[in-house]
Structure 1
Amino acid sequence: MRTKITPFLLFKNEAEEAANFYVSVFNGKLLNVTRYPDNGPMASGTVLTATFEILGMTFTALNWGQEAKYTETISFAIEPDTQEEVDYYWNALIADSGQEGPCSWLKDKYGVSWQVAPEILPRLMSDPDPKKSTAVMQAMMKMKKIIIKDIQAAYDNA
């Protein structure tokens, strides 16, 4: 058995488009595109799957001919190092009708949930000093996109 997990993202018919979007945002690569055969449930030649790699992880986008309904019960978390990276990923992922959510969460234009939480956030939130960790948590709860300097200031001033 291969010890690997590959997330599958379902789409009505936007699998290749979505794969190309994620590849462009994360500077990834499109690995493979397969198409439905002549006798398949969708029109012959329609994309069946688009497999791509981003940040070292392989994903497969699958066209299944029905609306896909994503919820926050599954999300992908990324941990940028700098505010510039936070801003880049946040803006790229909410572009073209994505939605901001609270506390680093967002939904992209396909409805997939992401957490853009800089690496400093969990590190400061796990400080053994409850005053400091609570101050960071309270600051985060007021944000949508995480502002690193504001998180650091809450920590420093606690």
Structure 2
Amino acid sequence: MGIVRPHLWFDDQAVEAARFYAEVIPNTTIQSVVTAPPGTPGVVEGAEFFVELTLDGMPATFLNGGPAFALDEAFSFVLDCEDQAEVDHFWETLTADGGRPSQCGWLVDKFGVSWQVTPAQLEDVMSRPDPEGVARAMAAMLTMTKLDVEGLERAYRGE
């Protein structure tokens, strides 16, 4: 394992988010939940404080730190999907219950975490040798919320 890992600050939903991701994202498990020691600023003593988890095989830490900082779209996880069916599944799951779509395959889930839900076909289309086709596919992508593989292919072909 590497020495760099994400550390996300939540108001008070770190454990709930970790449990949700453990259900939704393959290869995700919670290792431990640590409660707040006395004197922790902005957190009640004994409340769930740190969550150590493995998110799709990557170590991560979630913190319940109160409302001082908020997650935003400047940081996002990229969720690589095999095909449109997988994009649709993760899109629906992560936007449910208060999540919201953004642009170009990005969304914000109910915890405020930003995700880029990308099909494998996106990289294929964007790396093809026809620059005009790639430009058309890029222009089409910029108009999408959830990415549409067939729409990208049609744009690439000029249809």
Same fold (TM over 0.5): yes
1:21 matched residue in structure 2: 20
TM-score (norm 2): 0.89
Q: TM (normalized to structure 1)?
A: 0.90
CA distance in 1, matches of 2:148, 2:93: 16
Shift of 1:81: 0.9
Which ranges of structure 1 fall in alignment gaps of 5 or more residues? none
- Map of 1:37 onto structure 2: 37
C-alpha separation in 2, matches of 1:39 and 1:79: 41
Shift of 1:91: 1.0
Aligned to 1:139: 140
Match of 1:115 in 2: 116
| Aligned equivalent of 2:59 | 58
Task: Classify the secondary structure of the residue corresponding to 1:79.
Answer: strand
Match of 1:87 in 2: 88
Tell me how far 1:67 sits from its aligned partner. 4.8
Pick which of 37-46 and 94-103 moved more: 37-46
Shift of 1:70: 1.9
Cα deviations by residue, 1:82-103 (Å, 9 ceiling, x for unpaired): 1111011111111111110111
**1:80·1:86 contact (CA, 8 Å) conserved in 2?**
yes
Q: Aligned-pair distance for 1:117?
A: 1.2
> 1:75 matched to which residue of 2?
76
Per mean C-alpha deviation after superposition, the further-off stretch among 140-149 and 66-75 is 66-75
Q: Report the counterpart of residue 98 of structure 2 in structure 1.
A: 97
CA distance in 2, matches of 1:120, 1:147: 10
Structure 2 stretches lacking a partner, 5+ long:
none
Higher deviation after alignment, 120-129 or 39-48? 39-48
CA distance in 2, matches of 1:39, 1:69: 22
In structure 2, distance between residues paired with 1:21 and 1:136: 33
Output the amino acid matched with 2:34: T
SS at match of 1:96: helix
The number of residue pairs the alignment matches comes to 157
Shift of 1:44: 2.7
Structure 1 residue identity aligned to 2:57 = G
Tell me the distance in 1 between the aligned counterparts of 2:68 and 2:137.
Answer: 38
Shift, 1:39, TM fit: 4.6
Distance 1:147 1:15 in 2: 31
Q: Which residue of 1 aligns with 2:9?
A: 10
The letter for the 2-side match of 1:110 is: F
Using the aligned pairs only, state the percent identity.
36
